[in-house]
Amino acid sequence: MNMSFPKSMSAEEVGDWVASVGFPMYKSCFVENGISGKRLMTVNASKLPKLGITDFEHIKCIAHAIRELFQLEAPDCERSVSCDRWTPRSSLELGKVGYKQEFSKDTAPMEPVPRWLVQDKANDRMN
């Protein structure tokens, strides 16, 4: 198992990894659902029950182990949903940012704009 490049793990290797972090009973959940390293990167606590993992303490431990494997920050439970600006906390969250590309000879590319904001403005124009 190549732990230096976790995104390249196969579903079988992900199952072995889950077993190695103390949850061999869930190996088949990951293998049968085809959770490769690339897909594992997107798995969080809310997705684990869909894979068949329902024990809350196990969910917390596995979600924590996934964050450690990919060096992700824990979710900020104290962050208000009313915050004006969404800022990516890790390089993996940059994929959630939409880039509005407007150029003229006098302007540089605009700052990243959250995808939801771009969609809201598009919906406003349609109404």
Task: Quote the CA–CA distance of 71 and 35 in Å, as a whole number.
Answer: 18
- pLDDT reported for residue 72: 85
β-strand pairing of 97-98 with 113-114: antiparallel
As given in the structure block, the two tokens for residue 79 are: 């962050």
Partners of 110 in the β-ladder: none
CA-based end-to-end distance of the chain: 53
- The mean pLDDT value for 40-59 works out to 94
What is the separation of C-alpha 88 from the centre of its chain, rounded to a whole number of angstroms? 12
Give the pair of three-digit tokens for residue 108: 């540089």
Q: Can you tell me the distance from the alpha carbon of 92 to that of 42, in angstroms, rounded to the nearest whole number? A: 9
DSSP state of 80: -
Q: Give me the amino acid identity at 58.
A: H
Decide if pLDDT at 112 tops 80. Answer: no
Q: What is the pTM of this model?
A: 0.60
What value does the mean pLDDT of the chain take? 76
| pLDDT tens readout for residues 50-105 | 999 999 999 999 999 999 999 888 776 666 666 655 555 555 555 544 444 444 44
Most confident of 3-12, 19-28, 38-47, 81-90: 19-28
Hey, is 97 helix, strand or coil?
strand
pLDDT value, residue 119: 54
Task: Say yes or no to pLDDT of 110 above 60.
Answer: no
- Greater pLDDT, 1 or 60: 60
**Cβ atoms of 29 and 52 closer than 8 Å:** yes
